[in-house]
Amino acid sequence: MTDQSPTPAELLAARYGSDPGFDPPQWNQTLTTLLQHRSVRRWLDRPVSEDTIRTIVAAAQSASTSSNKQIVSVVAVRDAEQKRALAEVGGPRQAAHISTAPVVLVWLIDTSRIRASVERARREKPVIEYTAAEYLDEVLVGACDVGINAQNAVIAARSLGLGTCFLGSLRNDAERVGEIIGAPEHVVPFVGLEIGYADPEEPAGVKPRIPQGAYLHWDRYDADAATDVGEYDRILADYFAQYDQPGSWSAGLVSRVGPKAVKVAKRHLLRGVFERAGFSLK
Amino acid sequence: MTDQSPTPAELLAARYGSDPGFDPPQWNQTLTTLLQHRSVRRWLDRPVSEDTIRTIVAAAQSASTSSNKQIVSVVAVRDAEQKRALAEVGGPRQAAHISTAPVVLVWLIDTSRIRASVERARREKPVIEYTAAEYLDEVLVGACDVGINAQNAVIAARSLGLGTCFLGSLRNDAERVGEIIGAPEHVVPFVGLEIGYADPEEPAGVKPRIPQGAYLHWDRYDADAATDVGEYDRILADYFAQYDQPGSWSAGLVSRVGPKAVKVAKRHLLRGVFERAGFSLK
């Protein structure tokens, strides 16, 4: 998104908020695109063309699919009324960027093709069943494959000069999202992805991540290294201070996993949503 | 991976096995990398350097993270003995490519940093709790974020001339995988990712996906379009025939979701694995 391309060392230093302690043996434009990622939450009033969305979705479909199940579908929401309705589900902190995003991709865990194949096969062999739908793993496969598909969309969008923002908050009320997009019974909206042209005035940058030493382990997991994030707390506090925001990573974590956060986001109701959609989660 | 870059129209035609019916308004090398994706299951005997792995992991960490929880870690397994042990978990059909892959990244749903932060905060305020761990959503967030992180690793690897293969089969026995990599109680291995240099002799190509009309919907989900995959069954049968493999997509789906497939892959035991790791899945 800039004309002056930063060096790999600069990109890595921004990503970790410190020297990562290694030199990449090779570099390319795709790595620059990946490393420069940030979420965009302020949009220019500029539409995204239908063929641009199709191109991004072709990239999403090009990703791996667990057991070739192709358990993912997506609805591209551009209608203003529908976006306002999605913004209501997202809640007050997300509403402004949801309703103003040129397009919101709603990613679905979609077993309709599996169910149709099983139904057809049962006509000849009534013993055939969709047993996988009874177990937790099927929903986890859906969640992971949505992540894999949607991330390809993120990278494709960014390579085309567009910004994105994930919306886990659509799971605050997945059934309401299903109504908004007309999803049938067995299709569960899992995550949203806003796409548009970033407002260059947005006060946000590349947010540092935990040190690579906490994230990456060699052959065996190192429990001490995994939780060695005290310095990171300071790095992230400095990052937030740049944008006049208070807080540290640890404090944010604690508030986001407590009883109040769960209830506000209605995540205690999500199991029922999946059960009603035909997943037994055994 | 080839010197002669195919055109966007050629890439899209290969991805869908037919004309997708639109022209991308822009194109770039990153989109070529995304569209050319295929899984690699035959490796050259050529190592992947430590700094190359670090570069790929920096790309993985650059992806979005749900509520900035950073709930993912990864173990890079290069030890031959450990790879053989992972190959046993993967099962007979996957064992050869798991044990010969130069590196297997084992992606983890890792709540250890969240738990450590909550524990620290509880010393001052004993009312603080990790309530999110009691609900299904926390595991879904982990699965989705693993997918998002790992897919960035896939794209980074491919941009560097490397191939990859996802291994959902590590969930055949996630607890055994945890032993192999020394994962503590609350850390759950979720998916593997082989990385290496592809053997150019491997008989495999870009596998076509369901038509974009079944996958992508505009504003409202179209249930008829979603299951309109009869022509795709023929396209995929033709693809398999090129590699002397029988079968159609529907037939494959039905066999992969039935009672036998679930039991062989031991997915009926996975809920217990998560429960023992501290997730109540309410």
Residue contact B61–A15, C-beta within 8 A: yes
How many Å lie between the alpha carbon of A151 and the closest alpha carbon of chain B?
Answer: 5
- The answer to whether residues A146 and A70 touch, using CB atoms and an 8 Å cutoff, is no
What pLDDT, in 10s, does the model give residues B156-201?
A: 999 999 999 999 999 999 999 999 999 999 999 999 999 999 999 9
B276 CB near a chain A CB, below 8 Å?
A: no
Residue B122 has pLDDT above 70, yes or no: yes
Q: Which residues contact B152 (CB under 8 A, 6 or more apart)?
A: A34, A151, A155, B59, B60, B62, B63
What's the pLDDT at B141? Answer: 98
Residue A1 has pLDDT above 50, yes or no: no
Residue A195 has pLDDT above 70, yes or no: yes
Tell me what the mean pLDDT of segment B42-56 comes to: 98
- The answer to whether residues A22 and B150 touch, using CB atoms and an 8 Å cutoff, is no
- Cβ neighbours of A39 in B, within 8 Å: 64
- Percent of chain B past pLDDT 70, that is, above it, reads 99
pLDDT band at B247 (very low <50, low <70, confident <90, very high): confident
Helix axes B8-16, A50-61, angle to 10 degrees: 60
Q: Which CATH class is domain A38-204+265-276?
A: alpha beta
Residue with tokens 């921004």: A14
Tell me what the mean pLDDT of segment B238-263 comes to: 93
Tell me what the mean pLDDT of segment A191-201 comes to: 98
* B218 sits in which H/E element: strand B216-218
First to last CA, chain B: 46
Rounded distance between C-alpha atoms, residue A44 and residue A28, angstroms: 28
Question: Considering only residues 85 to 104 of chain B, which have any Cβ-Cβ distance to chain A shorter than 8 Å?
Answer: none
- ipTM score above 0.85: yes
Residue contact B259–A131, C-beta within 8 A: yes
Rounded distance between C-alpha atoms, residue B241 and residue B198, angstroms: 22
The shortest CB-CB distance from B30 to any of A23, A155, A262 is to: A155
A167 CB near a chain B CB, below 8 Å?
A: no
pLDDT band at B1 (very low <50, low <70, confident <90, very high): very low
Give which of B195, B215, B256 to mutate to test A binding, by max A Cβ within 10 Å.
B215
What's the pLDDT at B3? Answer: 53
Quote the tokens at residue B206.
Answer: 């870009």
Residue A222 has pLDDT above 90, yes or no: yes
A64 CB near a chain B CB, below 8 Å?
A: yes
Residue B103 has pLDDT above 50, yes or no: yes
Tell me what the mean pLDDT of segment B103-107 comes to: 98
Q: How long is chain A?
A: 282
Distances in whole angstroms, Cα of residue B271 to Cα of each of A276, B175, B236, B266 = 19, 12, 33, 10
* A179 sits in which H/E element: helix A174-181
Quote the tokens at residue B125.
Answer: 């305020």
Q: Which residues contact A94 (CB under 8 A, 6 or more apart)?
A: A87, A167, A169
- Cβ neighbours of A70 in B, within 8 Å: 209-210, 215
Strand partners, B198: B43
Rounded distance between C-alpha atoms, residue B205 and residue B38, angstroms: 7
What DSSP state is assigned to residue B153? H
Residue with tokens 């944010």: A252
Give which of A11, A84, A137, A218 to mutate to test B binding, by max B Cβ within 10 Å.
A137
- The answer to whether residues A259 and A37 touch, using CB atoms and an 8 Å cutoff, is no
